[in-house]
Amino acid sequence: MLAKNIKKFRNKQKLSQEQLAEKAGITYSTLIKIESGQNDNPTIKTLMKISTSLKVNMDALLKDSQKPLKVVELFAGVGGFRLGLKEPHYKVVWSNQWEPSTNIQHASEIYTKRFGESNHSNKNISEVETKDIPDHDLLVGGFPCQDYSVARTLNQAKGIAGKKGVLWWDIHRILSEKKRKPKYLLLENVDRLLKSPASQRGRDFAIMLASLSDIGYAVEWRVINAGDYGFPQRRRRVFILGYYKTTSLYKKLKRPPHILIG
């Protein structure tokens, strides 16, 4: 639909392909590939140039051009990720929330009360077989952070070797065993993760990044403080974005930087 929409608006403006390419400041070959469907995932920057030149907003160009991303939400809690990942752009196809050492699963009950019981699992993720998790495009999760939390002293923080820290390896297991791997990852944790454990600061995060790279993901991350966005608490969290090697974003991140000489 993206190619069809661009062509429709271009014809409405009575512009040839050459004229639109020149007006948008992109190459003629780039526009040809997009309009022919050879490139159905152009960069946001390119889409902005085209939409501005056609005097339409980007939503109009993208209307019905992309199917919603199928999302799996791990360590779902009461559904924080799901609140942000709304249809029609995202569709949660499976979720999991389990709190060990307690008979009453409060968070899972709140989740199902709000979003329904369909495709929701209230089972220890370590006991869920990968084949029982639907194929998906985006894996999200705020994996348990007690072993990294600032609520503990540095000496108490066991990091990736801690009782809950090891749940990271369930994420890794799912990614490793999935034949159709999710294209994207969005993970969240406390910023203490970056300097865990106390005896070898940064080791745990380095292991996570290396293990994701080994199974084909390029990763970028950032610490975001909720207090910088108008919220009343200084709540710092590290967000981890991963892109599988079949995506254009992976290729962009893996491309060597241009080096100027002289």
CA nearest neighbour of 156 among 115, 192, 127: 192
Q: 100 and 13, same structural domain?
A: no
Partners of 237 in beta bridges: 190, 224
Q: 225 and 101, same structural domain?
A: yes
Choice among 27-36, 55-64, 172-181 with the minimum mean pLDDT: 55-64
Q: What is the CATH number of the domain that holds 49?
A: 1.10.260.40
Catalytic residue among 71, 145, 171, 238: 145
Q: 103 and 13, same structural domain?
A: no
Q: 151 and 211, same structural domain?
A: yes
CA distance 144 to 163: 10
Q: 129 and 7, same structural domain?
A: no
Mean pLDDT in the chain?
A: 86
Choice among 52-61, 79-88, 223-232, 247-256 with the minimum mean pLDDT: 247-256
For 128-141, how does the pLDDT look when each residue is reduced to its tens digit (9 = 90+)?
Answer: 999 999 999 999 99
- The pLDDT value given to residue 153: 45
Q: What is the CATH number of the domain that holds 223?
A: 3.40.50.150
Q: 134 and 162, same structural domain?
A: yes
Q: 146 and 41, same structural domain?
A: no
Q: 14 and 97, same structural domain?
A: no
- The pLDDT value given to residue 3: 84
Number of domain units in the chain? 2
User: Do residues 99 and 89 make contact, with C-beta atoms less than 8 angstroms apart?
Assistant: no
For 138-186, how does the pLDDT look when each residue is reduced to its tens digit (9 = 90+)?
Answer: 999 988 765 554 444 444 444 454 454 468 889 999 999 999 999 999 9
Residue 207 within a domain: yes
Residue 262 within a domain: no
For 71-119, how does the pLDDT look when each residue is reduced to its tens digit (9 = 90+)?
Answer: 999 999 999 999 999 887 899 999 999 998 788 999 999 999 999 999 9
Quote the domain boundaries for residue 38.
2-62
User: Do residues 188 and 240 make contact, with C-beta atoms less than 8 angstroms apart?
Assistant: yes
Q: 86 and 44, same structural domain?
A: no
CB atoms within 10 A of CB 113: 11
The domain boundary, picked from 34, 62, 90, lies at 62
* 25 compared with 193, residue with greater pLDDT: 25
CA distance 62 to 5: 8
pTM for this entry: 0.71
Q: 91 and 27, same structural domain?
A: no
Please indicate whether residue 242 is annotated as part of the active site.
no
Residue 131 within a domain: yes
Residue 256 within a domain: no
Residue 140 within a domain: yes
CB atoms within 10 A of CB 17: 15
